[in-house]
Chain A
């Protein structure tokens, strides 16, 4: 076992209240609103019609191009309609509404080869990832098949399995690592085979000692595999940071992990590959942490995609009258939703309800440099934001604007309460607009 720590970053209160709650299956609701855009890239194209009967696991949306992902029916039933629903980011987009037939236990035939795991070839594994609609479950929801297909001239030597889960409150990955340890290891082995890596590291933060121990016991004697205990700090789980911490390599600015011969996958993602390969079930549900001070029964639940937030919160005893803010994801990078109809999708790692939304009036920048100190990418946020505010987008770009991953450390630490991330997003938006006009 190795021990490592990220330099810089922040350490908000961990608030991992649900770390001890076993994963529970969330009862499938009577109606699911399954969006066609649950991933990064092009929206899937619907392949079912109104009135059609679908089986559980049947493909209902087809990947549109290479950077896109298939969408499947989380439960059997009848397609009621295709209508617009609000996604976590506030945008209205098409969703397939399924009237669920809870009696029907029928499961669709997988559209990928079902063989013993040891016989799956790298191409089989890529087909599974692609067909089963698997995307990065760490938050970015980038189509996994793309990540499993590095360019021909690139040799991947290292695979990192990301079990950092550095966001406060979230414990979904933690529970998965404890309860589905073998599945994660088998899934990681498939990914290792697909990318041809020799070395596999499993990075887990040390606020999850039990998970570290469990993996270490299973992997101690497996040559080429190593558990890395990471001192808890946010945003250690961000790809570039974890690669740096584990291997010492720096992904070049604007580059991808394969540029430094590394592949990196979240624990939930590799587990869903394992599940697709062994049970023939595509990605139709995920573990979601439901927590926050406005929820009386917090926990970790496997929730089918398309389940409206409202039903989840009712089940968890949310104190609806007291809620000021609901976040999809973690408190550092998650999105505040506008209404309770927003459905759980592939990126939903958590649903957090708070009685108090932090609201403070921003002051002028004190120039204290704390934002510079905490930025793990070594951007000087205060300066970039000053350029943006002054309309100097070129300067902002030269100072690293496009490199920013919006991790939120700078805004978290800022004593003047400047919404730095909001400014950075705005700056990126304006810069793209300006460059498009040229």
Chain B
């Protein structure tokens, strides 16, 4: 008879989803966007993604070892995910050195400085991206046309948002949806991002309220602006599909670590992202504002949580 029975606190059963599994599925959901990047920008895109992922994972492993933590944590795949996400937000022509710096900063400054997994306030990939934007402003705003777009002037080539902001050129909704436009590696095709997003929705690995509230707030606000002055402001569908909005709200704003948990806070967080994207794009100096909007809402998340504790069952209304 086994005399030593194991005793532990209830519950004695557990759901099958654990952290590594969730991270894995988020990575699967990025496969369409990664494939799109390779299709639109050639095999070099794959190397950018590989360099970014490898540096991210390596940085994580080294820091875990230095901090005397369990190095096996890298197999959570969360560093790998950060690496892939960072790569997808970079211009296709970015140099490998820049990619490596970005991936290093993402993990070292974006995540481990705060204490590692679960402790960071800002989305690590976006921290890396923001650093690169500041350190290499020209490289980070130099765009090349996708392979399927023929006969364009490669020197003055712009993204749809840039084209609109600086030269008032509209890009068709169809091109934005399919991805035959310029932009960062993983952001050009709204459709490919949506496929991954819907997969995660179906598996319930993504908080649907975040992309939904962000999209609603963006469409409503930019819709109002469009109605006020259609010749000056772009239409809401353009706003939705152009630039990094889809990639941002489906894959970065939904990063659980840096998004709120209280239901009301979640809605405000999502809506806030949509709001700031419209403000920055239409009234700011830059054509794009997804990254700053998400980082901004990441920053106010602790505050939001403090004031939105849900009403408990039986608590006074």
Contact = CB atoms under 8 A, between A and B. Distances in A.
A364 B118 contact: yes
A12 B13 CA distance: 8
Contact of A425 (B9, B17, B18, B76): B9
A59 to B, nearest CB: 33
Contacts of A325: 5-8, 12
A358 B261 contact: no
Which of B21, B117, B315: most chain A CB closer than 10 A? B315
A192 interface: no
B313 A326 contact: no
B8 A336 contact: yes
B18 A321 contact: no
A419 to B, nearest CB: 6
Nearest to A318: B1
Name the prevailing secondary structure of the B interface residues: loop
Given A323-B2, A415-B21, A377 B257 contact: no
B314 interface: yes
A46 to B, nearest CB: 29
A91 interface: no
A238 to B, nearest CB: 10
B262 interface: yes
B312 to A, nearest CB: 5
B15 interface: yes
Interface residues of A, number: 69
B175 interface: no
Nearest to B78: A366
A255 B260 CA distance: 30
Contact of B207 (A369, A376, A415): A369
B7 A363 contact: no
A277 interface: no
B49 to A, nearest CB: 24
A197 interface: no
A415 B18 contact: yes
Contacts of B3: 339
A363 B19 contact: yes
B76 to A, nearest CB: 8
B33 to A, nearest CB: 22
B229 interface: no
B116 interface: yes
Contacts of A377: 312-314
Given A363-B19, A365-B118, A357 B13 contact: no
A275 interface: no
Interface in B274-317: 305, 309-316
Interface string B41-58: 000000000000000000
Interface string A376-393: 111110110000000000
A14 B246 CA distance: 39
Contacts of A336: 5-8, 10, 12
B137 interface: no
Interface string A327-361: 10001111111111000000000001010011110
B97 interface: no
A421 B18 CA distance: 17
B13 A415 contact: no
Interface in A71-110: 90
A363 B313 contact: no
Interface in A10-25: 10, 12-13
A377 B310 CA distance: 10
B82 interface: no
Which of A13, A250, A409: most chain B CB closer than 10 A? A250
Which of A244, A338, A366, A412: most chain B CB closer than 10 A? A366
Given A380-B261, A408-B11, A323 B314 contact: no
Contact of B12 (A327, A338, A363): A327
A382 B265 CA distance: 15
Contact of B10 (A250, A251, A332): A332
B84 to A, nearest CB: 18
A2 interface: no
Interface stretch (A27-35, A115-123, A144-152, A399-407): A399-407
A39 interface: no
B256 interface: yes
Given A320-B1, A336-B7, A360-B18, A366 B13 contact: no
Contacts of B305: 383
Contacts of A352: 12
B313 A250 contact: yes
A189 B215 CA distance: 56
Contact of B118 (A251, A340, A366): A366
6 contacts: A327-B12, A332-B12, A366-B19, A369-B259, A421-B9, A422-B8
Interface of B: 1-3, 5-15, 17-19, 21-22, 73, 76, 116-119, 207, 256-263, 266, 305, 309-316
Across the A-B interface, give the 10 residue pairs with the lowest CB-CB distance, nearest first. A408-B11, A364-B118, A369-B261, A422-B9, A368-B256, A357-B6, A320-B1, A336-B7, A250-B314, A331-B12
Given A332-B11, A409-B11, A425-B9, 10 more contacts: A12-B13, A251-B314, A325-B6, A332-B12, A364-B116, A369-B256, A378-B310, A380-B310, A403-B313, A414-B14
